[in-house]
Amino acid sequence: MAVTNVVVIGRRWYISLLLFINYLFHKTKLCTGLTTALLLSEDSSYSISVIAKHMPGDYDIEYASPWAGANYMPVSITGTPAQSWERDTWPALENLARNQPEAGVQFQDLKILNRKKDGDTVTAKWFAGLLSDKPWWSTVFPNYCQIPNTQLKEGVDSGHAMTSVCINTAIYLPWLVGECLKRGVVFKRAELEHIKDASTSHHSGEKPGIIVNCTGLGSLTLKGVCDLKLHPARGQIVLVRNESNGMTATSGTDDGPDEAMYVMCRPAGGGTILGGCYQRDNWDSQPDPNLAIRIMQRCVAAHPELTGGRTIEALDVIRHGVGLRPARDGGARVEKELIEDTWVIHNYGHGGAGYQCSYGCAKAVVELLDAHNYDKPRL
C-alpha cells in the first residue's frame, strides 16, 4: 500500500510515500508504489519516506509482486485511461531492457493466440484489449505482425506476434529500491489501519499535507477509504526451472471459463512462470493441486520444449504460487480526493496490470501532485 504526504517548509517539499502491502498478486502494487517513489524522487526538492509492511525478498500471500512473471502485455481498451498508462509505460521498460540489464528486464518474443469460442469467458474478458483484431498497441511493439493463418494451430482463429519484455521480479524490485535509495528515499516497515496514519509517517517528523495511496486490495479495508468496488482476482502459477522459447498467452482454455494459459521465461535464470487463472472473489491462499496439474499440462502442450517433448513429470518445479490481484469494478483509481481534512492521491486497483501500467500511473500521480502544489505559497 502506498501513501504520499506533502508539506511545504522553507523551499523544500517533504513527502512520505508509504507502501503498506495488504493483498497483492501478479503485477501489482509494490511495483506501482516503488515506481511512483522513483519518479517523485527525480525532483530533488522532494524528501521522500517509503513505509511498507513487506519489502523485496519477502514471500507472503499479502505480497504478490515477487510471484509476477512479469511482462508487458497490454489488456486495456482503446480510449480508456488504462490505455494511456500502458502506452506511457512501454518506453521506460524498453529503455531498461536496452540500456540497464542490471534491472532484470529483457526483450523476448511474445505470441498472443485468440480462440473465438472463448469470447464470453472470464479469461477472454480479462484479456479483452489483448485480443482485438486491430489492437492499439500494434504501433508500440517492435516487430509486430499478425500471425498467418497457415502458422496457427488447430482451434486458434487468430494471433499476434511481437517483441515485448519479460521482467525477473526478484531482480527488478530490489533494483527499484536501490534506485530510490540513491536518490535519498528513506525506507522503513510499518502497517497502517487508517489512511490518516500516514500523516505522522515522514522520517523528518514533519506533518505532510497530502497522501498518495497505492494500497492495492488493502483499500478495501483501509479505514478512511474502504473502496467496495475492489475485489480479489485469485491467480495461481507454477514456477519451474525448465526454460521456454519466448512468451505465449491464449484467450482461454477448455478446462474452465476462468482458467488461462500463459508462459513467460524470466531473464537471468529466474525460472519460467506457468499460469494460470482469474478467479473473482476467491480469497483462497493455498494452491489447488488439481489446477496446478491442468496448468502444467496446458503449458507443456503449448511449449513442448519445456520438457523436451516429455510429460509434465519432466518439469522441475521450484514452487507453486497463489496471490490476489487487486481488481476493481470500473478500472483502476488514479485521482485526488479530500478525506476529512487531508488530500489523498489514489493509485490502486490495477488488477493484473500493475507492472505494465506502473510508469504511466506514476507519471499521472506526479502530474496530480504538481497540479495540487501549483502556486501554493512556500513559507
DSSP summary character for residue 63: B
Answer whether 145's CB lies under 8 Å from 161's CB. Answer: yes
pLDDT at 15: 56
Answer whether 32's CB lies under 8 Å from 364's CB. Answer: no
pLDDT at 193: 87
What are the start-end ranges of the H helices in the chain?
29-40, 81-99, 122-126, 169-182, 289-302, 354-373
- Record the cell numbers describing residue 183, joined without a space: 536518490
pLDDT at 47: 80
pLDDT at 50: 80
The CATH class for the domain spanning 2-302+323-373 reads alpha beta
Answer whether 296's CB lies under 8 Å from 312's CB. Answer: yes
Kindly list the domain boundaries of the chain, sorted by start residue.
2-302+323-373
The label of the residue with cell 517548509 reads 9
CB atoms within 10 A of CB 335: 13
pLDDT tens digits, 93-142: 999 999 999 999 999 999 999 999 999 999 999 999 999 989 999 999 99
DSSP summary character for residue 83: H
DSSP summary character for residue 136: G
pLDDT at 57: 66
Q: Which residues of the chain have pLDDT under 50?
A: 1-13, 18-28, 375, 377-379
pLDDT at 284: 96
pLDDT tens digits, 26-48: 233 568 888 988 998 898 878 88
CA–CA dist 69, 327 (Å, integer): 18
Going from the C-alpha of 187 to that of each of 2, 58, 202, 269, the distances in angstroms are 12, 15, 10, 28
DSSP-derived 3-state class of residue 242: coil
pLDDT tens digits, 213-238: 888 888 999 999 999 999 999 999 99
DSSP summary character for residue 184: T
Pairing mode of beta strands 279-280, 230-240? antiparallel
